[in-house]
Structure 1
Amino acid sequence: MVEKTQIMDQKAMLRAITRISFEIIEHNKGASNLYIIGIMTRGAELAQRVAKKISELEGTTVEVGYLDVTAYRDDKRSGERRQDRTDLPFSIEGKQIILVDDVIYTGRTVRAAMDAILQRGRAKSIQLAALIDRGHRELPIRADYVGKNLPTSRDEFVKVSVEERDGEDQVTICIETDE
């Protein structure tokens, strides 16, 4: 895979996370009863950043959890066993959940995440925040909060890098090479 174009640098990612955080606060009339869940892997780091920004803006703590959707995916191989790395230190029941992912593409990962959440309880609501929306939905799912809409071709890949995991913050479009 070869990097084609940088779409967002560190400052652009920070602005997008700040904007998403403000929109979440505005739509929910504050931060009470908000719980943020990041879809592993990079959605977890982005969720932490959104929660921190909301906490700074609202002067209150927003709890964060992490969701491993591997077992809920419709493209997993049967018999494939993996350790569930989900960490939800709070009950889902009656909560306003903000689900955070790095890229929304076909909608299948988000569907798997909603299945995982609903299996753990009945949330008051589930809202979706995505840093990048690249289109090409296969399921009728849309993000409530988007950092950047990025129309791409199906041959392109959107790579989100986060400081905590990759050593830098950036979003790039990559293409597959035959080499």
Structure 2
Amino acid sequence: MIFYLNPKKNISNPNTPTNKIRFRIFANQTLQLLMSQKVLLNSKEVTIILHRLACQLIEKHLDFSDTILVGIQPRGVFLAERLKQILEDEYKVPEISLGYLDITFFRDDFRRTDKPLEANKTQINFIVEDKKVIFIDDVLFTGRSIRSALTAIQSFGRPSEIELLVLIDRRFSRNLPIQPDYRGRQVDAINGEKVKVSWKENDGEDVVHLVTN
């Protein structure tokens, strides 16, 4: 059952964080009228997967003393921040280094579009040289974003090892020979379908949809 919100009702200041989330929920509900959506993962399933991924990271990296998490902008940042929180709060891992990497100007197609590019911030305030780096993104699709990230990270040093963690692996959609080291769920989707990951911090709820136009 879907409850539709009136975005103007009882909202005195639309710019507060709470009301921004309300507007996003309203926009998502409106989008459901225009598209066919299938729930791939609900909130409980997302939580279970996040804890599994956290345990897999601990098994490989122990105390994370030589390991860095890097969220790929924009959507990988939400997953990276959530994993950092789970590792530190739930599993008592000491403070973990987390950075954000923007790949906008490292993409192999950025000169081939007339659309204005919107870059996000890159924030890596630590040494990457000889560290183990874990790239984190929400969906692995063609692999081109990860190729761009591999190029972009070289500006900050030469890691000893780079791994890839994704929430969703669209395994039959790859253009490049790139595979994740840690995956939440494999999804078989045709090119006309889109996997949409929503996070409660930004979208009001944790849910993954398969969207068909």
Deviation at 1:28, TM superposition (A): 2.4
- 2:65 alignment partner, one of 32, 38, 42: 32
Q: Which residue of structure 2 aligns with residue 62 of structure 1?
A: 96
Deviation at 1:5, TM superposition (A): 0.4
Deviation at 1:58, TM superposition (A): 4.0
Q: Which residue of structure 2 aligns with residue 151 of structure 1?
A: 188
Instruction: Decide whether the 8 Å contact of 2:73 with 2:120 is kept in 1.
Output: no
Q: Secondary structure at the match of 1:49?
A: helix
Deviation at 1:10, TM superposition (A): 1.2
Deviation at 1:3, TM superposition (A): 3.6
Structure 1 gaps of 5+ residues are none
Deviation at 1:83, TM superposition (A): 4.4
Instruction: Decide whether the 8 Å contact of 1:10 with 1:168 is kept in 2.
Output: yes
Number of residue pairs matched?
A: 176
- Mark the structure with the bigger radius of gyration: 2
- Judge which range, 71-80 or 161-170, deviates more: 71-80
Deviations along 1:16-48, one digit per CA (max 9) or x if unpaired, are: 111111111112244221110101112101001
Does the alignment pair 1:74 with 2:108? yes
Structure 2 gaps of 5+ residues are 1-33
Q: TM-score, normalised by structure 2?
A: 0.77
Does the alignment pair 1:14 with 2:40? no
Instruction: Decide whether the 8 Å contact of 1:3 with 1:172 is kept in 2.
Output: no
Letter in 1 for 2:166: A
* Partner Cα distance (1:42, 1:54) in 2: 19
* Partner Cα distance (1:35, 1:97) in 2: 5
Letter in 1 for 2:111: R
Q: Which residue of structure 1 aligns with residue 147 of structure 2?
A: 111
Deviation at 1:82, TM superposition (A): 4.7
Letter in 1 for 2:192: D
Q: TM-score, normalised by structure 1?
A: 0.91
Alpha-carbon spacing, 1:173–1:81, altered in 2? closer, same or farther (3 Å): closer
* Partner Cα distance (1:84, 1:4) in 2: 28
Q: Secondary structure at the match of 1:129?
A: strand
Does the alignment pair 1:138 with 2:175? yes
Instruction: Decide whether the 8 Å contact of 2:103 with 2:152 is kept in 1.
Output: yes
CA-atom RMSD in angstroms: 1.7
Does the alignment pair 1:161 with 2:187? no
Give % identity: 35
